[in-house]
Amino acid sequence: MKTKLKNTLIMLCTLLSLNVYSVDNKPLSEQIENLKQQAIALNRDLFILEEDLLYPPATQIAFYVATDASELFTIDSIKLMVDDELATHYLYTEKQVNALAKGGVHRLYQGNVKQGEHQLTAYVIGKGPQGRDIKRAATLTFNKDDEAKAIELVISANSAKEQADFTIREIE
């Protein structure tokens, strides 16, 4: 699939770089621009097709991270386990932490699991108030059906406890 994509893009780039004379009444620059737009549309279609082939909805799972607890918790890293197997590990940069604090959402993982019951555990490491280290884990048991599944870890402020709450939930 990737070889076909590369060959197609190489062919399109070659066609775009050729010095061809116009047969139509349209200027050559307009024809080149049309070819570029067609190449962009083809690339988009190939990307969507590749995503559908790699992550079919019957097995697709996506995991997101969001936070609104920047004053009580600053995320450093996260380790995601699916059925006691490491799915991914991620170390956040300062820029990414700032983006999350401003309401951004990070797609941490996209993969495939069989249909049925699964357990997902997120181990989060970060800094709390006064710079103290905090390590937390949150777990969710979910049932994977024939539809794509989206799951989100939400780190939210709990001002009554003066600490962050870690909640994993399915996104409908």
Domain boundaries, the chain: 2-54, 60-171
**Which class in CATH covers the domain with range 60-171?**
mainly beta
Predicted local confidence at residue 164, as pLDDT? 86
**Is the separation of the CB atoms in 107 and 96 below 8 Å?**
no
DSSP states of 92-113: --HHHHHHHHTT-EEEEEEEE-
* Poorest-pLDDT segment among 29-43, 79-93, 155-169: 155-169
Identify the residue with better confidence: 122 or 48. 122
pTM over 0.85: no
Q: How far apart are CA 154 and CA 16, in angstroms?
A: 47
- HSE-up of 57 (CA within 13 Å, CB side)? 5
Q: What mean pLDDT value characterizes the chain?
A: 85
**What percent of the chain lies above the pLDDT cut of 90?**
48
Q: What is the pLDDT of residues 58-111, one digit of tens each?
A: 788 999 999 987 788 899 999 999 999 999 999 999 999 999 999 999 999 999
Identify the residue with better confidence: 63 or 172. 63
- pLDDT higher than 70, residue 6: no
